[in-house]
C-alpha cells in the first residue's frame, strides 16, 4: 500500500516533522480516550454519506465494518497508537486503511478534524457530566442520611468562626445538599448548551456536498446542528463551562473538607472520623490525620487551575481553529478525573463522620449564642424595638461575662434587672434546643422544618 506509514498530508511535504515536534504535537496519548465517540461519529457520518448517495453503499458498509473492528481492537487493547499519526482521528483513519484498503479514503469526505474533534469532545463531556451528576446524587443521598440521624443533634453555628447561634447538625448538612443540587443544575444546563451538533461544518466554512446535518445530529443524540460553521470550530465554551462547573463543585466539597478538618481538630473535637479515612504520622505515634479531607481541599486547586489555563489559552485567539485548542482535552480530562475521585472520597468521608454530640451541645451554649433569642423575646413580648432589645441583650451578655456565667446559668432575678417587665417565661429562650426550635421561618433550623425538608429532598431524589 502506497500510503503505508505516511502522514495523511505527506503528499504536500518534503520532510518529516522534527522529533520534538512530533512528540509535543501528538495528542494521541491523551485523546485516545475519545475513541468510542470518534468511532461512533465516523459511523454516523458514513451512514449519512451513504444515505445522501455521496459514497456508494458498498464502500460505506466496508468502512463501517472496518470501524467496528477497530473499536473492538481498541477495547481489547490490541490497537497500537502511534505518535506519528498525531491524534485519535488520524490513528483510526490510518488503521482503517490497513484493514479495508484505499476505500478508507472516502470516509473523510465533507468532514475535517476540526468538526470531528468537537463532536467527539462534546459527546464525551455530555456523558461525563452525567457521570458527575450521578455521583452528586450519591453524595446528596449520603448527606440526607446523615442529616436524618442528626435532626436533634445541636451544634454551634459559626460566623467569622465565632460561635453565633445554635443549629441542628441536620440543617447544616442540608446546606451542603443545596450546594450539590446547584452543582447538578449547572452540569445539566451545560448539557443543554452542548446539545448542538458540530459535525458537518468542515474545516471552517461548511461544505459543498449535499450532506444532511439533521440526520447526523439526531443520530448522535444532539438537539440540532450548530448554526455557524466558523463559530462551531472556534467554540470551546462548552469545555470552559464544564471546567467552571467542576471548579465550583470542587470549591463546595473543599469547604466541606475544611469544615471536617476543623471539627476534627483537637481544639474543636466536634466529630470523630473512622480510621479508614485517617492516616498516621511517620514520627509522631499518637497522630491520626485527616489526609483524605485535606486532599479533597487541596485538589480543588487542580480544578481551578484547569479552568484558568483554558480561559487563558482561548483569550485573544482569533477565529477559528488553532492548535492551541488541542490543549483543551488534557485539562478537561484531568479536571473530570480529579473531581470524580474527590466526589467519591467526599462520599466516603461523610459516611465515616461521627458527631461528638455532647461536645457539640456543650459548645453550642458557649459564647452567649442565645443572646439574639433574648432580644427577639423582648421585641415579641415586651413591645421593644429590635435596636432597644439588642442593647438590653448586650447588657445581659456583659453582665454574664463579668460574672462568669452562661446565659442559661443566670437566675431570673438577674435577668429581670435588665427589664422590670420581664416574666419568668423568658428563661426558656436561653435553652439552646428551644432556640433552635424557635427558628420556624421557611428555611430555618427548627426540627419541624428539617423534617419537612428531608421529606421533600428524598422525594426529589427518586
Ligand atoms: N487533535 C486536534 C485537536 O484536538 C484535532 C484537530 C486538528 N485540526 C487541525 N486543523 N490541525 O485539536
User: To which H or E segment does residue 310 belong?
Assistant: helix 291-314
- C-alpha to C-alpha distance for 443 and 204, rounded to whole angstroms: 51
Query: How many other C-beta atoms can be found within 10 angstroms of the C-beta atom of residue 398?
Result: 11
Task: Please indicate whether residue 87, judged by its CB atom, sits closer than 6 Å to ligand 1.
Answer: yes
pLDDT of residue 257: 98
pLDDT of residue 378: 97
Q: By C-alpha distance, which of 16, 86, 141, 144 is closest to 323? A: 86
Phi, psi values for residue 59, rounded to 5°: -65, -45
pLDDT tens-digit profile of 194-236?
999 999 999 999 999 999 999 999 999 999 999 999 999 999 9
Task: Please indicate whether residue 114, judged by its CB atom, sits closer than 6 Å to ligand 1.
Answer: yes
Instruction: Using the mean position of ligand 1's atoms as its centre, give its distance from the Cα of residue 86 in Å.
Output: 9
Of the residues 10, 29, 205, 281, only one is catalytic, namely 281
Instruction: Using the mean position of ligand 1's atoms as its centre, give its distance from the Cα of residue 114 in Å.
Output: 6
Instruction: Using the mean position of ligand 1's atoms as its centre, give its distance from the Cα of residue 44 in Å.
Output: 20
87 CA: nearest ligand 1 atom: 1
User: Could you tell which of 8, 34, 90, 114 is best to mutate to test the pocket of ligand 1, judged by most ligand atoms within 8 Å of the CB?
Assistant: 114
pLDDT of residue 1: 46
Task: Please indicate whether residue 321, judged by its CB atom, sits closer than 6 Å to ligand 1.
Answer: yes
- C-alpha to C-alpha distance for 53 and 261, rounded to whole angstroms: 64
User: Could you tell which of 323, 327, 330, 332 is best to mutate to test the pocket of ligand 1, judged by most ligand atoms within 8 Å of the CB?
Assistant: 323
Q: Match 430555618 to its residue by C-alpha cell.
A: 444
| CATH tag, 10-109 | 1.10.275.10
- C-alpha to C-alpha distance for 116 and 37, rounded to whole angstroms: 10
User: Could you tell which of 37, 82, 87, 329 is best to mutate to test the pocket of ligand 1, judged by most ligand atoms within 8 Å of the CB?
Assistant: 87
Rg (CA), the chain: 31
45 in catalytic set: no
CA 434 to chain centre: 37
Task: Assess contact for 240 and 330: CB atoms under 8 A.
Answer: no
pLDDT < 70 regions, the chain: 1-4
Instruction: Using the mean position of ligand 1's atoms as its centre, give its distance from the Cα of residue 219 in Å.
Output: 23
Q: Distances from the Cα of 304 to the Cαs of 26, 82, 122, 294, 331, in angstroms?
A: 25, 32, 21, 16, 10
Query: How many other C-beta atoms can be found within 10 angstroms of the C-beta atom of residue 83?
Result: 16
- The yes/no answer on whether domain 114-362 falls in CATH 3.40.50.300 is no
Query: How many other C-beta atoms can be found within 10 angstroms of the C-beta atom of residue 340?
Result: 16
Of the residues 160, 282, 413, 441, only one is catalytic, namely 160
Question: Can you name the residues that pair with 225 across neighbouring β-strands?
Answer: 197
CA 100 to chain centre: 42
Q: How many residues does the chain have?
A: 462
Task: Assess contact for 225 and 205: CB atoms under 8 A.
Answer: no
Helix (H, G, I), strand (E, B) or coil at 442: coil
Range 365-461: architecture per CATH: Orthogonal Bundle (1.10)
* Residues whose CB is less than 8 angstroms from the CB of residue 232 and which lie 6 or more positions away in sequence, other chains included: 115, 118, 198, 201, 226
Q: Distances from the Cα of 412 to the Cαs of 366, 425, 458, in angstroms?
A: 19, 9, 44
265 in catalytic set: no
Instruction: Using the mean position of ligand 1's atoms as its centre, give its distance from the Cα of residue 16 in Å.
Output: 18
Task: Assess contact for 224 and 217: CB atoms under 8 A.
Answer: yes
Atom 1 of ligand 1, residue of closest alpha carbon:
87
Instruction: Using the mean position of ligand 1's atoms as its centre, give its distance from the Cα of residue 410 in Å.
Output: 74
Q: List helix spans (H) across 195-290.
A: 213-219, 229-234, 237-264
Q: Match 461521627 to its residue by C-alpha cell.
A: 354
27 CA: nearest ligand 1 atom: 1
Task: Please indicate whether residue 34, judged by its CB atom, sits closer than 6 Å to ligand 1.
Answer: no
Question: Can you name the residues that pair with 353 across neighbouring β-strands?
Answer: 273
Instruction: Using the mean position of ligand 1's atoms as its centre, give its distance from the Cα of residue 213 in Å.
Output: 21
Structural domain spans, the chain: 10-109, 114-362, 365-461
Q: What is the DSSP code (8-state) at residue 98?
A: H
Assessment of whether the complete model's pTM goes beyond 0.75: yes
Distance separating the N- and C-terminal Cα atoms of the chain: 57
The three cell numbers locating residue 365: 451554649
The three cell numbers locating residue 27: 495528542
Same fold, 10-109 and 114-362: no
Is there a cis peptide before residue 320, judged by omega within 30 degrees of 0?
A: yes
User: Could you tell which of 27, 42, 117, 229 is best to mutate to test the pocket of ligand 1, judged by most ligand atoms within 8 Å of the CB?
Assistant: 117
Task: Please indicate whether residue 187, judged by its CB atom, sits closer than 6 Å to ligand 1.
Answer: no
Amino acid at each position: 500500500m502506497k500510503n503505508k506509514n505516511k502522514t495523511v498530508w505527506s503528499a504536500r511535504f518534503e520532510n518529516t516533522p522534527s522529533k520534538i515536534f512530533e512528540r509535543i504535537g501528538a495528542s494521541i496519548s491523551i485523546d485516545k480516550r475519545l475513541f468510542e465517540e470518534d468511532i461512533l461519529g465516523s459511523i454516523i457520518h458514513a451512514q449519512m454519506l451513504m444515505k445522501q448517495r455521496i459514497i456508494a453503499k458498498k464502500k460505506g458498509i466496508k468502512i463501517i465494518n472496518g470501524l467496528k473492528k477497530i473499536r473492538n481492537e481498541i477495547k481489547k487493547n490490541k490497537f497500537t497508537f502511534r505518535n506519528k499519526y498525531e491524534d485519535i482521528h488520524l490513528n483510526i483513519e490510518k488503521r482503517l486503511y490497513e484493514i479495508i484498503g484505499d476505500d478508507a479514503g472516502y470516509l473523510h469526505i465533507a468532514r475535517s478534524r476540526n468538526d470531528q474533534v468537537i463532536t467527539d469532545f462534546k459527546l464525551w463531556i455530555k456523558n461525563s457530566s452525567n457521570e458527575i451528576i450521578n455521583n452528586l446524587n450519591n453524595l446528596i443521598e449520603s448527606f440526607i442520611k446523615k442529616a436524618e440521624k442528626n435532626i436533634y443533634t445541636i451544634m454551634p453555628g459559626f460566623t467569622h468562626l465565632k460561635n453565633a447561634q445554635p443549629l441542628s447538625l441536620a440543617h447544616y448538612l442540608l446546606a451542603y445538599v443545596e450546594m450539590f443540587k446547584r452543582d447538578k443544575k449547572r452540569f445539566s444546563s451545560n448539557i443543554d448548551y452542548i446539545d448542538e451538533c458540530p459535525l458537518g461544518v468542515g474545516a471552517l466554512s461548511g461544505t459543498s456536498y449535499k450532506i444532511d446535518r439533521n440526520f447526523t445530529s439526531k443520530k448522535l443524540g444532539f438537539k440540532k446542528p450548530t448554526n455557524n460553521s466558523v463559530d462551531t470550530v472556534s467554540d470551546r465554551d462548552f469545555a470552559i463551562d464544564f471546567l467552571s462547573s467542576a471548579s465550583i463543585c470542587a470549591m463546595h466539597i473543599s469547604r466541606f473538607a475544611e469544615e471536617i478538618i476543623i471539627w476534627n481538630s483537637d481544639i474543636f473535637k466536634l466529630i470523630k472520623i473512622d480510621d479508614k479515612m485517617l492516616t498516621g504520622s511517620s514520627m509522631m505515634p499518637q497522630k491520626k490525620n485527616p489526609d483524605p479531607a485535606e486532599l479533597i481541599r487541596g485538589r480543588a486547586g487542580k480544578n481551578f487551575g484547569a479552568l484558568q489555563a483554558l480561559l487563558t489559552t482561548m483569550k485573544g485567539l482569533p477565529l477559528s481553529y488553532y492548535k492551541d485548542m488541542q490543549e483543551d482535552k488534557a485539562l478537561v480530562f484531568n479536571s473530570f478525573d480529579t473531581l470524580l475521585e474527590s466526589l467519591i472520597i467526599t462520599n466516603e468521608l461523610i459516611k465515616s463522620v461521627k458527631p461528638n454530640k455532647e461536645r457539640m451541645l456543650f459548645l453550642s451554649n458557649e459564647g452567649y449564642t442565645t443572646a439574639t433569642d433574648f432580644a427577639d423575646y423582648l421585641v415579641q413580648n415586651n413591645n421593644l424595638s429590635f435596636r432597644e432589645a439588642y442593647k438590653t441583650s448586650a447588657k445581659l451578655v456583659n453582665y454574664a461575662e463579668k460574672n462568669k456565667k452562661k446565659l442559661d446559668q443566670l437566675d431570673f432575678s438577674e435577668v429581670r434587672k435588665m427589664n422590670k417587665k420581664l416574666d419568668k417565661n423568658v428563661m426558656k429562650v436561653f435553652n439552646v434546643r428551644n432556640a433552635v426550635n424557635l427558628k420556624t421561618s421557611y428555611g430555618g433550623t427548627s426540627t419541624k422544618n428539617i423534617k419537612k425538608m428531608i421529606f421533600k429532598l428524598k422525594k426529589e431524589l427518586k
